Structures are given as C-alpha cells and as structure tokens.
Amino acid sequence: MNGADILVSCLEREGVDTIFAYPGGCSMPIHQSLTRSKKIRTILPRHEQGGVFAAEGYARVTGRAGVCMGTSGPGATNLVTGIADAFMDSTPLVAITGQVPQEMIGRGAFQETDMFGITLPIVKHSYLVMDINDLPRIVKEAFHIATTGRPGPVLIDIPKNIQQQETQPIYPKEINLRGYKIDYKADDLALNEMIGLINSARQPMIYCGGGIITSDAHKELLEFVERTQIPVATTLMGIGCFPETHEMSLKWLGMHGTVYANNAVNEADLLLAIGVRFDDRVTGKVEKFCEHGTIVHIDIDNSELNKNKTVKLPILSEVKYALRRSNQILEKGGFKRSKKFTRFPAWYKQIDAWKKKFPLSFKDTPDAIQPQYVIKMLCEMTKGEAIITTGVGQHQMWAAQFYNFTEPRTLVTSAGLGSMGYGYPAAMGAKVARPDKQVIDIDGDGSFLMNVQELATTHVEGIAAKAIILNNQHLGMVVQWEDRFFGSNRGHTFLGDPRDRDRIYPDYVELCKGFGVTCERVLHKKDLPAAIQRMLDSKETYVLDVMTPYTEHVLPMIPTQKTYKDIITE
C-alpha cells in the first residue's frame, strides 16, 4: 500500500467517520485515497480555518477526536488558529498536513512551512513522518494522545513522497509511550482530607469546569452535590456539566458571570476547584481570588496545580475517579444522597439574597429587539434542548447568560483563545456529529462574517446548521470597552458602510441568497417568534439576521485585573 492508503486505513481503524479536509498539491495523494474510503465522509470546507473549527465542533459534542487536514504552506498555516484554540480549550483534535517531499525540506520549496516548529507551543504532541513504516504507529499514538488525559490537538505532518511510497503496513496492537501517564488516581488520604474540610466548612462552594465534561463526570458531580449539599458555579467551558435549573446552581462565574456566583466563590471559606485552571477571565486579580478561603484543586494535569493559584490541597487525579471515589467515601461516612438542601442554611440564605438583589436581567424596550430577549425566546422555543454554538463577543456572553443549559456538550464556544469566526463552522461540525439535534449558532455580525464562506459547505453538503446573527453593525464587545474606558471614542469598530450609515451592510439576505441559503431579516419584535419557528422547522441551512441596538452592554462585568468587588452591574 502507498502511504496515503495506509493513512486512510489507519483513520478507519481509529473509527474516524468524518474528516474536514481541503486539498492541495502536497495532500492530493491522501485525498485520492479518501475518495476510495467506504467508511469516512470527507467534507470540503471553503477555508481551512472553517475545517479545523468544524472538527472542533464535532469533537466537543462527541468527545471523540475531530479530524481535519490541509495541504502544506498556507493550507497548513490556516489551521494554526484552530489548533491553538483546541489547545486552550482541551479539545481532542488530530490535524493532518501535507508537507513538501523530504529532499526539499529546509530548502524554501514552494509552499513549504515548518509546521512541526510552528505548532510546538500549541499541541500536545507533533509528528513529522520521516519513514513510511512509522505511519501506522504514529496515527495510533496521535489519537491516543489527543483523547486521553487532558485532551488536546496532535499534528501529523506528512511529506508528499511518504504519501506516494509503498510498503507492507504493520498495524500496532498496543501503544507504549514512555513518560506519558494518564491514569492518575487520587489517593484516599487526600480525598478524606477534602471531606474533613467539608465537615468543618460553613460557606463551601464548588467551582468546576471543562474537566467535568471531558471526563464524562457530570453524573458523579450531581451525586457529589446531592451528598455534600454544596452550591455549584461553573466556568464558561464547564457550562452544562451541572444543570443550571438545579437548586444548587449559581450558573457561571467570571468577568461576565453572575454576581451571586462571583460573590459566593470569592467569599467561600472552602472552595473545591474541580477540572479548572484558574483562568484570568474567572479570577480577575488572581491574588485576591477567594483570598480568605481554603482551596482544594482536583485536576488531571499536574502542570495546572499551583500554577496560577497556590492552593491548600492539590489533588492530581482523573476527575471522574476522584468524584466517584469521594462519593463512595461520603456514603460510608453517612453523607446520604438527598434532594433537600438543609446543610448550610445561613449560606443558602446569603446566596438567595444575592440572587434576588442581582438577577440576570436587561431593560426590555418595545421599540428595539434586545439581544438577551432573542436568546431567552430561543431557549423557550427549543425547551433548552438545542446544541448552541457561538462566535466570540457580546453575543457569546449573552448566550451563556440567558440560555439555560442542563446537559453537557450542548454549549460549544471558543473560551480560552476567544477565536472570532468559530461559531458557524463549529455548528457545522456539531450538526454532522449530531444530526438528530437542533444545532444553532448564536453569532454576531462581525464574528459570523469571518467564516461566512462555510454557508456554501453546509448548503452543498446538506448540513442543516442554523444561525442567528445578533446584528448591531459594530464590534459590540470592543464598543462596550470603548464606552466604558475610552470615552466612547470609536477605534475602527463600525462594521457598516460609513458612506451610508442607515444602510444595513453587508446585506446578509442577499449574501445568503448567493449561497443558495434562506436568510430572513427581523426588524420588529412582533415578528421574532414566527421567524424563529420558521428557522427551527427548516430542514436546511437557515439564517436569521436580527437587528439589535449597538448601545447594549453585557452586564455584569468585572474589569480586567479587578476583583469581584469592582463588578459593574448597570
């Protein structure tokens, strides 16, 4: 078999059913092999960045590795933002790139780029294949590394001559990676110490994140909460790991999280940080974060323990195991599972007071469509059961605030890297993975335009990924910062046509028509419910262009490097 056929055979053996791949000179042999595969669906994105974001969306809703491919040079570099995004958000991804023939490497050949070097800081591991006989082992290792431990992206760079050479492949049955340990399990001594701290706490909180979803530990978390009766606040990446409709949920914390979540986490006397990394968007001024509380940190990545925040009790462990074993110890210690929460009455009373004083709210006006209103209506009309993807900006925060998530893997968003243009390609990948679900991208006009070309992909491939554009003709989040900190001076944040400010530009209705996609513009609040219903009922790609005011701000807001006490609420 030639190297290209071996690669495709290896992908099939790993259970890959979809690859998002854009061809070019140094990846053509692989594409030829993919045309002969009976197991793998090859989807042609209209830009490599759209392809890698789609692979991320696929991975985020399935837990399996998303797979994408580009050719050498610019095709490969167009994948870099998505690879970095997957690294920041611990998303399992295998990115395959074509490379110039081995004898041309280092000579500045046409479309040559050192992808091994470029991606070193943003991958779990990277491979430059120099021997065709290594290919089966490399592919098996790549998927193992990408999906185990703390997940992340792995790059496989394959020179064109390797793709064309022939050999008799030997497929390894086992993997032996020296130094790669993934089965960390908390010892009972540490877990008993944590439970001892719970016994003496008066104001405990759980702060949990994407690690819960990655390890499929949401059921164990729910049991842990119903045994300990400790309230929960999640990170943006952790949304859905604990039902936001649950009595113990404080939704999420951080820069635009709820006031009550930020207050409770920072004023807790015991903070259980589970599957999180103390990101600056959560902590604000990190030295002041939970300044007077005792912190326990459980994580599978040893490099995250005591990295951003020094804690009292670091526990290196796979999160699912730590919670499952904790529940067993709690059961033996008399912590019965209950849906009646009475353990910390004074603490619950304080949290309830914060909830009543600082609810998530907005000023609803009859003459404009508030973006929060759109999301609340969408949540009601989908019964909170859709998979929601987002771009990056104000709309992202509003989606997280006003859509109630009750299941894991139902919010797909770029959190750590904050990549604009992520939302619609991610919806495309999520819909391919979950064709049984409504998948809706809540986006801004700036973010949506960055990968608008993927409308062509969804149309021709029959992928019914929907989109709601909250169109305010501005880069809304930057405008908000201009209003708050720069005297409303506009530094190139108007996205419309400056020669005709009353004109809606670009015209998404006409733009979508060119792609063969239905787009409906909504100008009046009374027209919104019917328009959303038409979008939901559609069996095809559908875009709603909803005009919203640019003067609306995302609140609450904790300014950069400030503390929860500096939160802006109006």
Q: What are phi and psi of 128, to 5 degrees?
A: -115, 110
The catalytic position among 20, 53, 112, 160 is 160
Type of residue at 567: I
The catalytic position among 39, 103, 110, 485 is 110
Contacts made by residues 349-358, CB under 8 angstroms, sequence distance 24+: 350/203, 350/264, 351/231, 351/250, 351/260, 351/264, 354/259, 354/260, 354/263, 354/264, 355/250, 355/260, 357/259, 358/258, 358/259, 358/260, 358/556, 358/569
d(CA 274, CA 296): 8
3-state secondary structure of 129: coil
Please say whether the beta carbons of 255 and 396 come within 8 A.
no
The catalytic position among 14, 20, 48, 552 is 48
Q: Tell me the Cα Rg of the chain.
A: 24
Is 307 assigned a catalytic role?
A: no
Is 111 assigned a catalytic role?
A: yes
The catalytic position among 255, 428, 477, 535 is 477
Is 48 assigned a catalytic role?
A: yes
d(CA 290, CA 312): 12
The catalytic position among 32, 102, 111, 350 is 111
Q: Which residues contact 379 (CB under 8 A, 6 or more apart)?
A: 402, 403, 404
The DSSP secondary-structure symbol of 72 reads S
Reference 238, options 281, 293, 288, 198; nearest CA is 281
Is 160 assigned a catalytic role?
A: yes
The secondary structure element, H or E, covering residue 170 is none
Is 14 assigned a catalytic role?
A: no
d(CA 208, CA 67): 28
Which residues are annotated as catalytic? 48, 110-111, 160, 477
